[in-house]
Amino acid sequence: MAGTEEKLKRLREITAEISRLNSIQALLEWDQQVNMPRGGAEDRGNQTALIAGLAFDKSTSDELGTLIADLASEVTDLDADDEYAREIKVARRNFERSARIPREKIIEFVLATSAAHEVWVKARQDNDFKSFEPHLTHIFDLRRQQAELFQPYEHPYDALLEEYEPGMKTADVRAIFEALRPRQVELLRAIAASEQVDNTFVKQYYPFDDQRKLGSFIASRFGYDWERGRLDLAPHPFTTSFGAGDVRITTRFLEKDGMSALFSMMHETGHALYDQGLSPKYRETSLDRAASYAIHESQSRLWENMVGRSREFCRFAFPVMQMLFPQHLGNITLEQFYRGINRVEPSFIRVEADEATYNMHIMLRFEIETGLLDGSLRARDLPEIWNTRMQEYLGITPPDDTNGVLQDVHWSSGLIGYFPTYALGNLISAQLWEKMLQDYPGIPDAMTAGDFSQILAWLRQNVHSLSARYDPLDLVRRITGGPIDPEPYLRYLNTKYRDIYRF
């Protein structure tokens, strides 16, 4: 037994070192997006590559592999619902995945994405896709090469999707999207045939300082711990964590949309609450992370939409907003505000999309990513492909690439396979919300009073504190009793928008 305890202790020491190196890399990447001058890109790429190389060496060492193999051989059932078994199983999965990719490929990838990010930022500002296209081609080439190391698979995208959603296949995502698309199109057609709601009071300039005060106030009410976090500005809102004691959120302010920053802050606060709520008993072990990216997105989408765009939330928050923005909202009624912030209107920008159209943005990106990976699409053709499918799916054509193919940070960061997790997160959020309201039917009344503690407590118990103990599909089944299911989300959308658009 002593031998097992010593091996487990050593495993956790190595895992902690890997975790710290990954946190240092995340800190460098946060700084690049928030503070770093553009001229620092080359040096930052070298710094990030150095840390990534050290983390890779730790993650694929012979010592770690031997420890995991020895400990796994001593576990009767690695699939058992047991913390120790789960820790070893996840550690083995992480090791086997890391060991498949050569060190030089990891370094090449880090350098490529670090350089690509700065090119993307400028290309987006200048509406210059051609300057970014070679970097995009290179990133997809590198990701394709990485995927090939995980053969056999039905589609190369399977290997990349597994990185974000363990157990999920490309065919599974396609099946879910095929079930969603016609039902969401049907809803959009019904909405389009109805009288449009007014949101002109939103599409104005709101003072940025007051927007920041409002967003920070709401984040605090949701439960964000400012002693373990901070707020900064970035070209594309994101959340990052360097450990439970340092979970940071970012946002951006738009000149012509006074509510964009509020909803991006609610979204990012949902992510941050998850990271702040991970169980301390799993700290710096293989379980010290979210169950998956879709589970993470379910948290951000739940707080942004189920809570933040609800009539109950508006009853609480709207008087506060009227005090902060009397010129904009002083003559607006609560019902006008609720309907206005939930206006359905096809938009060019994914992060500004309403709930009814959002998944269409994800389907477009999923189709492009899979096409670029399997060779059926080429990066140089993306602006035309993007615009054509935007017209087909949403009935609008972006006026330029800045508002089209260049809008997302993900591809410059190499996050190929990430986008489906947004739509899956939408579905899971509705499943969690239904179950939460079954358990605590008084939550809507509490939200009206500005009390969100029961929501956070339920999520802490059922999601956050479990960290990565359960694979995402197992976690969804454990909480809701079934698999990822589009029906609760479709029920939610139809109930909400039939009321708002009165059809």
Summarised one tens digit per residue, pLDDT across range 253-277 is 999 999 999 999 999 999 999 999 9
pLDDT for res 1? 46
DSSP one-letter code for 241: E
Distance separating alpha carbons of residues 10 and 45, to the nearest angstrom: 31
Whether 268 is a known active-site residue: answer: yes
What residues form DSSP beta bridges with 82? none
Q: Which are the contacts of 200, defined by CB distance < 8 A and separation ≥ 6? A: none
Q: Which are the contacts of 106, defined by CB distance < 8 A and separation ≥ 6? A: 52, 53, 56
Cβ atoms of residues 67 and 60 within 8 Å: no
247-251 and 239-241: which strand pairing? antiparallel
pLDDT for res 2? 53
Cβ atoms of residues 288 and 241 within 8 Å: no
Cβ atoms of residues 147 and 373 within 8 Å: yes
Distance separating alpha carbons of residues 235 and 118, to the nearest angstrom: 11
Low-confidence residues in the chain, pLDDT < 70: 1-2
Choosing from 163, 165, 268, 369, which is the catalytic residue? 268
Distance separating alpha carbons of residues 262 and 432, to the nearest angstrom: 23
435-459 pLDDT, tens digit per residue, is 999 999 999 999 999 999 999 999 9
Distance separating alpha carbons of residues 379 and 137, to the nearest angstrom: 6
| Amino acid identity at 348 | F
Helix (H) or strand (E) holding 397: none
Provide the 3-class DSSP secondary structure of residue 202: coil
Q: Which CATH class is domain 170-227+258-501?
A: mainly alpha
Tokens of 459: 């999520």
277-289 pLDDT, tens digit per residue, is 999 999 999 999 9
| Amino acid identity at 271 | H
pLDDT for res 201? 96
Cβ atoms of residues 308 and 266 within 8 Å: yes
* Residue labelled with tokens 């970097």: 135
For residues 273, 276, 277, 280, the Cα torsion angle rounded to the nearest 10 degrees is 170
| Amino acid identity at 60 | T
